[in-house]
Amino acid sequence: SHFPEASALGLAETLNDRIRNSEAQLQWQDVLPQVQIMGQYRKDGQNNLDFLMFDGDFFVPIVRLDLLERHNMPLPNTWEEVINLARFFHGRDLNDDGVPDYGLCHFPRADA
């Protein structure tokens, strides 16, 4: 995300007061807390809200544990580890149908 960098460089307006003053229109309390946090940046010892997230798309990876166990591999903890797993499995027949499979699949929402 580029949000922390933009905040650190002073390229974003801190929105705390604007949100406080427009609470009735914004209904900030109805925004999922995890989405609220996504726009926060800590500076000078306080949390500033510099960005209002449009939505809260969360990427939830689903990993085939049977493949990891078969190859004695741990669950990935970093994106680099995810990429390494994808490279390892890419082009292998993972479901025994005789067709090489992808190492990583991403299915976007139908309305995206």
What 3 state SS string does 37-80 have?
HHCEEEECCEEEECCCCCCCCCCCCCCCHHHHHHCCCCCCCCHH
Per-residue pLDDT tens for 63-92? 899 999 999 999 998 889 999 999 999 999
**Cα dihedral angle (67, 73, 79, 84), rounded to 10 degrees?**
-80
Q: Which conformational region is residue 37 in: left (phi greater than 0), alpha (psi within -120 to 50 degrees), or beta? A: alpha
Q: Which residue has the higher pLDDT, 101 or 24?
A: 101
pTM higher than 0.95 = no
As given in the structure block, the two tokens for residue 43 are 């500076």
**What pLDDT is attached to residue 37?**
79
- Domain residue spans of the chain: 3-49, 59-112
Nearest to 49 by CA among 27, 75, 19: 19
**What pLDDT is attached to residue 83?**
94
